[in-house]
Every structure is written in structure tokens, then in C-alpha cells.
């Protein structure tokens, strides 16, 4: 192990961030450039920031460390929002390049506090300006802005048209067909995803299995040994297992992961959604949906899980009537809305998009595009949207009554400026969304509010960590 504490080592890390960001953000916007990826004699051209980020690796260890820091921040945004790789990369690049210079000449803590406050002001302003998704046209606009492909955006539009705005949509890579298709099914979606990333069994960081056994309890599971024999029996029968519990001891999670890896168990642990009485009610909802303690399929992401099944419709209707009767006894909006949400969930249909392609590389790129677009739509439905192409940020820092220093303004203006630069347009960023393809103002360009907010926060967080780093240890 070698210790470095000099400026050259830090500069190497910063160079890695800059180089990685330059590559990823070159794909940004409607006129983003292609990146050629070459691996084992396979050539692939892509404009998808996610696909590019997955392939970045530098020979220089310090530069690669910087690149991986940036990619880690971007992946965190994607886990939270389903989209935002390119935007997080750009913000990280901007924060790093500007804050390091400022902090060299000023108090680090004071500077970071000031910028943290600027970010908070922008975040609150974005929340205030955010608009709700109210139509399928809004969905199409969000999808198109994200994936930059009219055909894919239209496909997502048509799926939402069939299943509704509140439905659950998941994306899977198809290995059997060269075409992309979808299935409509009955599904239950809940907040609360993977409790540990090592439970994932798919390359995109999700857990997916068919016909799993579902164990569900409102207890805290403490000793793995109490369940080991039953788990081994299921493994011998070739049955996947999903446990949904109130919580788990650290030892239970550790032993579950150890046994899963050692015995190749198709197993995943989930936390029961809700709190207190709400958890017990969620158990009843989930059990109504099961068929002999099983479902046709389950998909678990880092943020939520969806059960797919052909349930007993009579059981579902009976449960809905129970909830409707319970709802009549409440007067508070919070309680009434919660009952309405649960009823909607039980009534919900779901869609699974199976992404295919002529080659695995083609399928993977289309998968990344569709997954990003679906993630953006989900986030927009949940949190709303603002004017796209960075124009809302331009309006906040340049056309409102709020005041920001030039260096912070330049960070906020970066998305709009980068999109224009990628289109080779020498125009000043405006507070109206500009379509670089049509060369006209375009109010159909929209961005999910939560993606912008999360990208800002995650980018600043990784920058803050790096600024407060005093030593670098090398293998």
C-alpha cells in the first residue's frame, strides 16, 4: 500500500472526473454525439449515457478512481430516480472544477456551507415550480426528452395508455427474441426495494424470478438458523424464495447472502412496506394477491418491488370492499388518500417490457434507453416535471429575484449550455426550452423535477467528499 498526499495525486483524480464527464456528457441533448465502444472486436455506436458510463475505465489508477467516483454518483441518481446519469456527470464535473479553485483561496467549510445553501434555494424553487403529470401527452414528452427516440417514446406512451398513469411498468432484457415487445398483467407495486445490492441477479442491478415462494411476516427475523432447513428444502425443490419481513438482524442478512452465494440460492430479502398497523394491512393486501404463497413473477429494483400474478379476482374484490368500508370511518385526507392508493394498487394492471435486438449490444443499448425513459416517467408521475433542456434552471438563476454568485450560476446553466454546445449552436441559454433539432422553442421538452434535484444533491455530495479528502492510498 502506497500513501499519497500531494497535489499531483489529487489532480489525477480530478482529471479522471473531467475525462469521464466529457465522454458521458457528449451524448447529452437531442443532438448529442455518438460514442464508439470497442470490446473484443465488437463495435457499438451509442448516444446513451448509461451505456457509455458502464464501459469507462482508465489505465491510470488515479484517473480511474476519479471516473469511478463520478459514475458512483450517477448510479446513485439512477437508483433513486431511474434516470439522470448524464446530468449527474455534468453537475459533478462543474462542481469539482469550480469548487476546488474557490476552496483553495477560501475557507473550505464556509464555502461548502454557502454552496449548500444555494443548492437548497434552487431545490425549493424547483419543487415550487414543478407541475403534475396529468395526461398521456405529458408521459410522451417526458419519455421522448429522456430517450431521444420517437419510436421508443411512442411505445411507452401506448403502454401507459393501456395500463394507466399509476400502473407499474418494468423493463427486462429479452434473450429469446430479436424484437422488443410487452405483456400486460395484473401486478402489485410497493415502495421498498433491495435491502442489499448483492441480492440482485440481473446485470441492471435488479432481482427477477418466476414462480417464487413468498414468505411474509410483520416480525423482525433474527436467527437465520431457524429458517435454514426450510430454505434448504425449497432449494432442493428448485424453488426461488422471497422473504418480506418487518426487518432483519445484521446476522440474518449476512448469513442469507453467504448461503445465497455459496449454494446459488435464488433468494431475496425485502422489508415490509409501511409502518405499524399499515404494515399489517399491507400483509393482507399482498396475501390477497398470492396463489398458494406464490406469484407468477417478482421484480425487485433498488427502490420498489412488483408482484405479477393471475390472482383470484373474487378475493381481490372482497378485499377492495373491505377497504372501502374501512375508509368510510375516516375523515382526515391523509387516511382517505392512503385507502384510495391501496385500492388503486389492488385494481392495478402492470406491464413488462421485454427488450430484444439483433445483437446483445443492440438489445443492451435499447434496454438502457427504455429503462431510463420508463424511470423518468415514473419519477415524473410521482414528483412532477419542469421545463426541459435545463431551461428551468436558467430561469431560476437568471430571471428570478434570487441572487447567486457567478460560479454557482455557471453550474446551474451548464445543462442548457451543454445541450447547445453538443448541437454546435453558439446561442446563449434561455429560460425557454430550446429544441436543438428543430431550432425552435419547444414547450414539449420537459424534465422530471426529482431527477434534477437528485442529480444536484448527489453531485455536490461526491464533490464535498473529494474536497475533504487529505490522503490517497494506492494498492
- Going residue by residue through the chain, which has 475 residues, state the pLDDT in tens, using 9 for 90 and above: 343 445 566 788 889 999 999 999 998 988 888 888 877 667 777 777 877 888 888 998 889 999 999 999 998 898 888 888 999 999 999 999 998 888 877 788 888 999 999 999 999 999 999 999 989 999 999 999 888 889 999 999 999 998 888 777 888 887 677 888 888 877 788 888 888 889 988 877 889 999 999 999 989 999 888 888 888 888 888 889 999 999 999 999 998 898 887 778 889 999 988 877 778 888 888 898 899 999 999 999 888 888 888 888 888 888 889 888 888 878 877 778 778 878 877 877 778 888 888 777 778 888 888 988 998 998 999 899 999 989 999 999 988 888 899 999 999 999 999 999 988 888 788 778 878 787 888 888 999 999 999 999 999 999 998 888 777 776 6
Boundary of a domain, candidates 355, 375, 405: 355
Q: Is residue 390 part of a domain?
A: yes
CA 222 to chain centre: 31
The whole model's pTM is what? 0.74
Residues 45 and 122 in one domain: yes
Collapsed DSSP state (helix, strand, coil) of residue 399: coil
Phi, psi of 424 (to 5 degrees): 60, 35
Q: Which helix (H) or strand (E) holds 108?
A: helix 108-129
In a domain, 362, yes or no: no
187 plus 44 within the same structural domain:
no
Q: Is residue 319 in a domain? A: yes
CATH of residue 21: 1.10.560.10
CA distances, 136 to each of 132, 154, 163, 316, 386 (Å): 12, 10, 11, 28, 16
CATH for 329: 3.50.7.10
213-216 and 241-245: which strand pairing?
A: parallel
Does 198 lie in the same domain as 338? yes
Tell me, yes or no, whether 310 lies in a domain: yes
The values of phi and psi at residue 285, to 5°, are -60, -45
* Pair 344, 195 in one domain: yes
DSSP calls for 49-71: HHHHHHH---SSHHHHHHHHHHH
Amino acid at each position: 500500500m502506497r500513501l499519497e498526499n500531494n497535489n499531483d495525486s489529487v489532480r489525477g483524480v480530478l482529471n479522471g472526473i473531467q475525462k469521464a464527464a466529457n465522454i458521458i456528457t457528449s451524448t447529452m441533448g437531442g443532438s448529442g454525439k455518438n460514442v464508439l465502444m470497442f470490446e473484443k472486436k465488437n463495435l457499438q455506436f451509442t448516444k446513451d449515457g448509461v451505456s457509455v458510463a458502464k464501459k469507462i475505465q482508465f489505465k491510470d489508477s488515479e484517473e480511474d478512481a476519479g471516473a469511478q467516483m463520478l459514475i458512483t454518483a450517477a448510479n446513485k441518481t439512477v437508483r433513486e430516480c431511474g434516470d439522470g446519469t448524464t446530468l449527474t456527470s455534468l453537475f459533478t464535473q462543474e462542481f469539482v472544477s469550480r469548487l476546488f479553485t474557490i476552496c483553495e483561496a477560501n475557507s473550505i467549510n464556509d464555502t461548502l456551507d454557502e454552496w449548500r445553501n444555494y443548492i437548497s434555494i434552487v431545490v425549493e424553487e424547483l419543487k415550487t415550480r414543478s407541475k403534475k403529470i396529468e395526461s398521456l401527452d405529458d408521459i410522451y414528452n417526458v419519455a421522448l426528452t429522456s430517450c431521444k427516440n420517437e419510436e421508443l417514446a411512442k411505445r411507452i406512451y401506448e403502454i401507459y395508455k393501456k395500463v394507466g398513469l399509476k400502473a407499474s411498468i418494468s423493463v427486462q432484457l429479452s434473450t429469446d427474441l430479436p424484437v422488443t415487445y410487452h405483456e400486460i398483467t395484473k401486478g402489485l407495486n410497493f415502495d421498498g426495494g433491495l435491502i442489499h445490492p448483492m441480492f440482485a441477479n440481473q446485470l441492471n442491478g435488479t432481482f427477477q424470478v418466476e414462480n417464487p415462494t413468498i414468505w411474509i411476516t410483520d416480525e423482525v427475523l433474527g436467527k437465520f438458523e431457524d429458517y435454514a432447513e426450510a430454505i434448504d428444502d425449497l432449494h432442493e425443490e428448485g424453488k426461488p424464495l422471497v422473504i418480506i419481513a418487518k426487518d432483519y438482524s445484521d446476522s440474518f442478512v449476512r448469513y442469507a447472502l453467504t448461503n445465497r452465494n455459496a449454494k446459488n440460492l435464488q433468494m431475496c430479502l425485502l422489508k415490509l412496506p409501511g409502518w405499524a398497523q399499515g404494515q399489517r394491512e399491507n400483509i393482507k393486501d399482498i396475501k390477497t394477491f398470492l396463489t398458494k404463497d406464490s406469484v407468477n413473477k417478482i421484480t425487485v429494483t433498488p427502490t420498489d418491488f412488483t408482484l405479477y400474478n393471475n390472482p383470484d379476482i373474487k378475493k381481490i374484490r372482497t378485499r377492495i370492499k373491505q377497504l372501502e368500508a374501512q375508509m368510510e370511518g375516516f375523515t382526515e385526507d391523509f387516511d382517505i388518500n392512503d385507502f384510495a392508493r391501496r385500492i388503486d394498487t389492488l385494481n392495478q394492471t402492470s406491464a413488462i417490457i421485454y427488450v430484444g435486438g439483433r445483437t446483445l449490444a443492440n438489445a443492451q443499448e435499447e434496454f438502457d434507453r427504455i429503462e431510463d425513459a420508463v424511470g423518468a416517467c415514473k419519477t415524473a408521475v410521482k414528483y412532477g416535471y419542469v421545463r426541459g433542456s435545463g431551461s428551468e434552471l436558467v430561469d431560476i438563476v437568471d430571471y428570478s429575484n434570487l441572487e447567486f454568485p457567478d460560479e454557482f450560476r455557471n453550474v446551474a446553466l451548464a445543462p442548457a449550455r451543454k445541450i447547445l454546445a453538443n448541437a454546435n449552436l453558439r446561442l446563449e441559454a434561455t429560460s425557454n426550452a430550446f429544441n436543438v433539432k428543430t431550432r425552435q422553442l419547444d414547450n414539449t421538452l420537459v424534465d422530471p423535477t426529482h431527477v434534477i434535484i437528485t442529480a444536484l444533491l448527489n453531485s455536490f455530495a461526491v464533490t464535498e467528499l473529494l474536497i475533504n479528502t487529505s490522503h490517497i492510498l494506492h494498492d
